[in-house]
Amino acid sequence: MRAVTAPTPGGVDALVVEDRPTPQPAPGEVLIRVTAAGVNRADLLQRQGLYNPPPGGTDILGLECSGDIVSVGEGVTDLQPGAHVCALLTGGGYAEYVSVPAGQVATVPVGISLTDAGGIMEVACTVWSNVFMMGKLQHGDTLLVHGGASGIGTMAIQLGKAFGARVIVTVGSEEKAAFCRELGADVTINYREQDFAEAMKESGEQADVILDIMGAKYLAANVSVLATAGRLVVIGMQGGTKAELNLGALLTKRAAVMATSLRARPVAEKSAIVSAMVAQVWPLITDGTVRPVIHATYPLEDVRQAHQVLEDSSHSGKVLLTV
């Protein structure tokens, strides 16, 4: 089968399409013929040699996909060959076939295409596990999302609004700000023109939950805009890994800082996240309240171009590879 790897870490030129053996499903797994795979920033980090697969994981890139089940391993009874599904992966999505634990697979929700479903599992599971399961966002809370026009950001806006939150986002252009407002964002802050913390303080805004992709660069500012008992959930380190934390400010607000990742969690944890997310999010997709936001699709052979789009941050929503 065709598959994408990065044998030597580097820029987009490090990506190669090569022949690999077609995997077979182990007990408890299903084999999927891939239709589409989502491109995520974690894939860029892996290509650069900064985010290696967990022990035993494949070096083929790709953390989510959609497609048809070809075969099932021993013990799998609730999924059958021919089913249209999408999956949360540890790796392997940038390929014609991928095997994955059955608990990390869900049938495609009614109302979206099989191709578009290739970009929904990673963002939906990330937002559900971090904003709702860990951050405990409630109706009437204020949610601050950094990178509002990203794949994760566009899902966070929609889910936040669907569950009755006020949503504030940071973006890098007025075009992206307008796009986020169309999705339902109540407040947009262009971080290239304003300091988001100062802008929020001037308007009297505080955040009950913050979904942060920047890490060190935004730590102090994030804590400064947390509401009493607020929750800061860090899921990325685009702004660095080390910063000074004012514990006094955190203590005064009785607030919490949490940092999580999804990829390296045990199968049982990821399966539980998928199950909880599907129960809550799939009905919202079916009735049209939430939709996958797709910026562009590229054939697998154009994977370098797809990575460049994310590298340039020129996208709004998800970038997909079609197989």
- The pLDDT of residue 56: 87
- Give the C-alpha separation, 43 to 50, whole Å: 10
The closest alpha carbon to 225, from 254, 194, 244, 204, belongs to 204
Q: For the chain, what is the HEC assignment?
A: CEEEECCCCCCHHHCEEEECCCCCCCCCEEEEEEEEEEECHHHHHHHCCCCCCCCCCCCCCCCEEEEEEEEECCCCCCCCCCCEEEEECCCCCCECEEEEEHHHEEECCCCCCCCHHHHCHHHHHHHHHHHHHHCCCCCCCEEEEECCCEHHHHHHHHHHHHCCCEEEEEECCHHHHHHHHHHCCCEEEECCCCCHHHHHHHCCCCEEEEEECCHHHHHHHHHHHEEEEEEEEECCCCCCCCCCCCHHHHHHHCCEEEECCCCCCCHHHHHHHHHHHHHHHHHHHHCCCCCCCEEEEEEHHHHHHHHHHHHHCCCCEEEEEEC
- The pLDDT of residue 44: 97
Please give the angle made by the CA atoms of 243, 244 and 249, to the nearest 5 degrees.
Answer: 130
- The pLDDT of residue 297: 98
**Please, are residues 10 and 311 in contact by the beta-carbon 8 Å criterion?**
no
pLDDT in tens, the chain (323 residues): 999 999 999 999 999 999 999 999 999 999 999 999 999 999 999 999 999 999 889 999 999 999 999 999 999 999 999 999 999 999 999 999 999 999 999 999 999 999 999 999 999 999 999 999 999 999 999 999 999 999 999 999 999 999 999 999 999 999 999 999 999 999 999 999 999 999 999 999 999 999 999 999 999 999 999 999 999 999 999 988 899 999 999 999 999 999 999 998 999 999 999 999 999 999 999 999 999 999 999 999 999 999 999 999 889 999 999 99
